[in-house]
Amino acid sequence: MKLGDVRKDAIELLKKTSPSPELDTDLIISNVLNKNRTWITFHRDEYIAQEDFESIKKATTQRLTGLPIAYITNKKEFYGYDFYVNQDVLIPKPDTELMIDLAINIIGQKMANHSNYIPTICDMCTGSGCVGISILKTLHEIDNIQVTELPKITMVDISQKALCVAKKNSESLLKQEMQERISFLQSNLFDEIPYKFDLIVTNPPYIPHNEVLELLKDGRNEPILALDGDILETGDYSNTNDGLELIRRLVPQAYDHLSPQGQLIMETGEYNAEEAAEILKSTGFKDIKIEKDLAGQLRDVLGRK
């Protein structure tokens, strides 16, 4: 079949469920053929192999169920870098890119004020590793910081499967000498972590329980463990439905694992940022503020020990 006909048929199918059928179709075709969207535009009269046609058909069927394109292609761009993702991790969202900007600014100030200073960072609830890896790559590629002067990052997650994804991204996106700046640790929050950090960045589960159940009705299949903020240490539902159950445990632990004057950056989003800021205040954090994302929504809560 001609590429143009395959594309047209897929778009018509995806119009039933997708808000962006043309984009979804082009991303599927691009992934299968390993070509960019510009190539697809100018080669619609070309015939494609039967094997490629079957792969496009299979991916289109998956998308019809609500499965996100990122899980179908195992790829999601974040902060200008292509990350591998699967259903063991949350798909990186553009809103989380704000955390990278904030972290880069804090690290830059610390390094400017202290010669020969190498910050230590904890990326708690790392998931795909997109936050920690993006911080390292940006400091090296854009801020021109030498590898030996880059921060040392500990990436932590309760899920071993998530850590495997983070390791995969580290290996594919970082040179060997940069990979050596990262360590991976499986832990329920800070339970297995004996040391302190200059900066803790975290995008923990913070969505209220009932909201999570509603979100997952569309078939997106993102791991509930990475979304639901109302889960107890036992794994049971807390009955709070405010998305803050895990954050109530995380914030005091983060405070105890920060060096003097160390800082916390935590994404909580529009659901409960102001309530999360109050938790930081009651824990003893100073200089607390909430940063908004590009859409003007409350997004990240910051505090200093």
pLDDT for residue 294 is more than 90: no
Average pLDDT rounded to a whole number, residues 79-87: 96
**Residue 112: pLDDT band with limits 50, 70, 90:** confident
pLDDT for residue 44 is more than 80: yes
pLDDT in tens, 253-276: 999 999 999 999 999 978 899 999
Rounded Cα distance, 303 and 280, in Å = 7
Least Cα distance to 254 among 154, 165, 159, 180 occurs for: 154
User: What is residue 109's predicted lDDT score, i.e. its pLDDT?
Assistant: 86
Average pLDDT rounded to a whole number, residues 283-298: 94
**Residue 210: pLDDT band with limits 50, 70, 90:** confident
User: What is residue 207's predicted lDDT score, i.e. its pLDDT?
Assistant: 85
User: What is residue 214's predicted lDDT score, i.e. its pLDDT?
Assistant: 80
Lowest mean pLDDT among 152-156, 223-227, 287-291: 223-227
Rounded Cα distance, 265 and 289, in Å = 10
pTM of this prediction?
0.92
Instruction: Give backbone dihedrals phi and psi of 219, rounded to 5 degrees, phi first.
Output: 85, 15
